[in-house]
Structure formats: structure tokens, C-alpha cells
């Protein structure tokens, strides 16, 4: 597995797509995680869709935005296919829907089966995630818990990854090679 992390609009998706297409074998499968929750998000998703290479087969979102729905889709992908999951931070954010101060250990536990499945795939698997902790401390309790959860899950992803890249201003910095 290859983990690609970095800040918002850092070039993570572009790097991950190029990496998957140049290093992986067909078929190339793209598993998005962004839900069209409002008009601005619909526009963001459409921009990503227009910029994405046509060689990717894009899977539909699961019926539920929770990790279990993504796990079901992941299990349906041929193990030797090249998989790009973009992005893990958005997927984890879905766990917060309608909750003020979620239970951190329970949320991290919900993500573990998906992390384990991603790290056990035999085909090239590229996972995009948002880097936690590069900015200030979030102002709200929910924001702080989300940052903590993302940081913990990112560490588990990085532990299982063969390669980790940090993308800064469009440039990849190899962290684990």
C-alpha cells in the first residue's frame, strides 16, 4: 500500500492518480469518498471528476457513508486491480454526522477493518488522506476529536504502508520508502 498525505489542495490527488497509473497494472479502480452534501461539495466533486484520467473505472459511493459500506465495496474489487481510494479524511468525517462530541476510541475502532483490508490487498493500493496536526488546534471539541482520530488512523495506515509520501505545494516528499 502507498499512503499519500498532505494538506488541503496540496496536490495529493494528482500525485496519487499519476502514481497509480504509472506504477499499477490495469484495471485501475477509483473509489471516491466525497458525498455531495451541499452545492459547493457537488462542484468540488465535479472538478475532481473532470480532472481525473479516463482510464480509471470509478466506483459508486456505497448506500451508507460509514466505513462498513466502503468495506463491502472494497471486498468486491479484484485483489490484483490497482485501487485508488481518495480520501480517507473525508470518509472518517462521515462518522461525525449529527454528533457533537463523538467517542474517539469507538470511532477509531470503526475504521480498523477498512484499514486492515486496504493494507492486505495484493494489487497496488494508493490511499489519499489529509495530514492531521499541520495547522492549529481546532476550536471545537468535535474538531479536536476529529483531528485526533485522523492522526491515529493515519498512523495505522502509515504503519501498514510500504511507501508514504507527504505532498507539500504539489511536491512529493518521500517519508517511508
* Number of Cβ within a 10 Å radius of residue 133: 11
- E-only strand ranges, 24-156: 28-32, 56-58, 82-86, 125-130
CA nearest neighbour of 134 among 151, 121, 117, 120: 151
- All three cell numbers of 100: 457533537
Which residue in 14, 48, 144, 156 is the catalytic one? 48
**Annotation says 112 is catalytic:** no
CA dihedral 86, 92, 94, 100 (to 10 degrees): -150
The conformational region for residue 141 under phi > 0 = left, psi -120 to 50 = alpha, else beta, is: alpha
**Residues annotated catalytic, as ranges:** 48
Amino acid at each position: 500500500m502507498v499512503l499519500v498525505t498532505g494538506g488541503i489542495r496540496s496536490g495529493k490527488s494528482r500525485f496519487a492518480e499519476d502514481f497509480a497509473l504509472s506504477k499499477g497494472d490495469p484495471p485501475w479502480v477509483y473509489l471516491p469518498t466525497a458525498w455531495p452534501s451541499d452545492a459547493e461539495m457537488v462542484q468540488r466533486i465535479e472538478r475532481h471528476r473532470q480532472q481525473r484520467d479516463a482510464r480509471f473505472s470509478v466506483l459508486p459511493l456505497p448506500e451508507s457513508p460509514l466505513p462498513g459500506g466502503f468495506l463491502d465495496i472494497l471486498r468486491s474489487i479484484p485483489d490484483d486491480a490497482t485501487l485508488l481510494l481518495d480520501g480517507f479524511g473525508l470518509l472518517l468525517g462521515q462518522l461525525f454526522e449529527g454528533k457533537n462530541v463523538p467517542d474517539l476510541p469507538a470511532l477509531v475502532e470503526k475504521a480498523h477493518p477498512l484499514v486492515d483490508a486496504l493494507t492486505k490487498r495484493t494489487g497496488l493500493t494508493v490511499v489519499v488522506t489529509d495530514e492531521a496536526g499541520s495547522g492549529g488546534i481546532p476550536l471545537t471539541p468535535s474538531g479536536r476529536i476529529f483531528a485526533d482520530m485522523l492522526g491515529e488512523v493515519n498512523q495505522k495506515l502509515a504503519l501498514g504502508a510500504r511507501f508514504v509520501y507527504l505532498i507539500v505545494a504539489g511536491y512529493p516528499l518521500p517519508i517511508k520508502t
